[in-house]
Amino acid sequence: MDVEEAALVADADRRATDYLRGIEQRRVYPDQRALDGLERFDERIPDYGRPGTETLALLDEAGTPATVATNGPRYFGFVVGAALPVAAAAERLMLAWDQGAALAMTSPAAARIEQVAAEWLLDILDLPRGSAVGFGTSATACSLTLLTAARDRLLANAGWDVAARGVFGAPPIRVVVPETVHVTILKALRVLGFGTEQLVRAATDAHGRIDPAALPPLDARTLVIIQAGEVNTGEFDRFAEIIPLAKAAGAWVHVDGAFGLWARASAHRDLTEGIEGADSWTVDGHKWLNTPYDCAMAICRDPEALARAMNSDAAYAEGSRHAQKNLTLEFSRRARGIPVWAALRTLGRDGVAAMVERHVAQAQWLADRLRGEGFEVLNRVVLNQLVVRGRDDAETAAIRLGAERSGEVWFGPTVWQGRPAFRLSLSSWRTEDSDVVQLADVLIRVRAQVRG
Ligand SMILES: *Cc1c(COP(=O)(O)O)cnc(C)c1O
């Protein structure tokens, strides 16, 4: 490493440290001035190279002010957490390593650590030991890989080899999704050749959970997708009733547990009762576990099914069913299991449970406070999510915008059962009780301003 490289790395570290030092004080959503400052990036590609330090300075000076403080304590949007210091620090070290973590041959260190992370994950989530775990970029990508495995397995059972014969002309597969299915599942299904109009939508109850009595017919050519943590309400499907029915019929059951699966590692484990009977599970790292972005896990009871669906073995790169390249979409890839390992090792079982339990308690406190102040909380709060309304649609929208402009907090809009609302997620390790009090105070203050 030459002097220039050392200076650049040190400069990046200093700027990153400064950013984190100010993370609690900075505006959560950038103001107009910061957004206008993004114009500085509108330059033409330089004809001749420039010093790296200058590029980094521009990134910091114009980019930093326009960031959203997702890494801070008062970002309540999208069920995403901040980045745990140790998980982010592990990623920093990984950047220096620059491992292509496709298989053990390309990075023995990454392969071993990801193997440990996989075992720990099955342990802490109490899912079938021996399941395959792929560390992918997102719940979207991980659900795509698992639904591919499901489709291919169901068709193989029907005597159709997808890898050889393709999907066109294959026997039909019935795909059952809840009415409240997450949009990224629809995307994954579209990619796999299941059109949105072909899906069977299972009726859901007032909480957004599938009504087991209203399930459509299930058989050995059915793929059933259920949820651990509905994206608005945080509700859980009734696994103990649905999964045995589906399994008895020979169906494949996939669980979208992007954030909610972590409840299983806490005192709220009851919510997930029976979930271990499914065939595949998706869970994010970058949401409730608070790893940096681009981190999720695909868990498959049948390791062969996933490894066959994602196989990319070549004469020069054989990995069978243990290589991450055969369990994820990527071939060249970052070792996304390492931040998971770092988070689990540093939090421990106790720390994961404490984080989840604290957020659930904060959500319940917030719901009580807001109800007491006359807000309408549309869901019963079983997890870390609230769906809230003002007096009418216009007031609801105005409160959300006013809160965003305050710079103190941020959360996004939603529509729940046809009614516009806003959604508050408690999922950042940095969120203290005082931040939740501040959120409630902002909502009450902004509503008073809106009412004039
Ligand atoms: C966020 C979310 C997803 C998608 O996760 P990404 O990691 O953003 O792809 C899927 N399902 C549910 C329930 C979610 O909350």
Q: Where are the domains of the chain?
A: 3-68, 89-343
pLDDT for 314: 81
What would the pLDDT profile of 218-265 be if each residue is shown by its tens digit?
999 999 999 999 999 999 999 999 999 999 999 999 999 999 999 999
Q: Phi and psi dihedrals of 174, rounded to 5?
A: -90, 125
CA distances from 104 to 94, 110, 117, 324, 403 (A): 16, 7, 15, 9, 49
pTM: 0.97
pLDDT for 318: 74
DSSP element (H, E) containing 283: strand 280-284
Position with higher pLDDT, 374 vs 318: 374
What would the pLDDT profile of 113-153 be if each residue is shown by its tens digit?
999 999 999 999 999 999 999 999 999 999 999 999 999 99
Contacts of 147 (CB under 8 A, 6+ apart): 185, 188, 189, 192, 223, 225, 254, 280
pLDDT for 317: 73
What would the pLDDT profile of 310-357 be if each residue is shown by its tens digit?
999 887 777 678 899 999 999 999 999 999 999 999 999 999 999 999
pLDDT at residue 168 greater than cutoff 90: yes
pLDDT for 163: 93
pLDDT at residue 430 greater than cutoff 80: yes
pLDDT for 444: 98
Token pair in block for residue 146: 């698992």
Looking at residue 59, the DSSP 8-state letter turns out to be I
Give the residue, out of 140, 233, 293, 297, with the most ligand 1 atoms within 8 A of its beta carbon, to mutate for a pocket test.
Answer: 140
pLDDT for 313: 87
Instruction: Evaluate whether 201 touches 178 at the Cβ level (below 8 Å).
Output: yes
Distance of CA 282 from the midpoint of ligand 1 (Å): 9
**229 close to ligand 1 (CB < 6 Angstrom):** yes
Q: Alpha-carbon distance 379 to 257, whole Å?
A: 19
Distance of CA 184 from the midpoint of ligand 1 (Å): 7
- What is the topology classification, in CATH, of domain 89-343? Aspartate Aminotransferase; domain 2 (3.40.640)
How confident is the prediction for the chain on average, in pLDDT?
97
Distance of CA 230 from the midpoint of ligand 1 (Å): 10
Distance of CA 344 from the midpoint of ligand 1 (Å): 21
Q: Phi and psi dihedrals of 323, rounded to 5?
A: -80, 135
Number of helical (H) and strand (E) elements in the chain, helices listed first: 13, 11
Edge-first strand listing for the sheet containing 280-284: 132-136, 296-300, 280-284, 252-256, 222-227, 174-178, 200-202
Q: Alpha-carbon distance 72 to 93, whole Å?
A: 22
Which ligand 1 atom lies nearest to the CA of residue 257? 13
pLDDT for 193: 96
| Banded model confidence at residue 82, pLDDT cuts 50, 70, 90 | very high
Looking at residue 171, the DSSP 8-state letter turns out to be P
Contacts of 83 (CB under 8 A, 6+ apart): 71, 290, 291, 292, 293
Distance of CA 138 from the midpoint of ligand 1 (Å): 7
Radius of gyration of the chain (CA): 23
Give the residue, by CA position, lying nearest to ligand 1 atom 13: 231
Q: Alpha-carbon distance 323 to 311, whole Å?
A: 9
Instruction: Evaluate whether 241 touches 212 at the Cβ level (below 8 Å).
Output: yes
Q: Phi and psi dihedrals of 276, rounded to 5?
A: -70, -10
pLDDT at residue 46 greater than cutoff 90: yes
pLDDT for 228: 98
pLDDT for 125: 98
Q: Alpha-carbon distance 169 to 159, whole Å?
A: 13
Residue found under tokens 């890898």: 163
Beta-bridge partners for 210: 204
Beta-bridge partners for 134: 298
**296 close to ligand 1 (CB < 6 Angstrom):** yes
Position with higher pLDDT, 38 vs 214: 38
Give the residue, by CA position, lying nearest to ligand 1 atom 12: 258
Distance of CA 449 from the midpoint of ligand 1 (Å): 34
Q: Residue 209's closest CA among 190, 231, 184, 188?
A: 231
| Banded model confidence at residue 30, pLDDT cuts 50, 70, 90 | very high
pLDDT for 320: 78
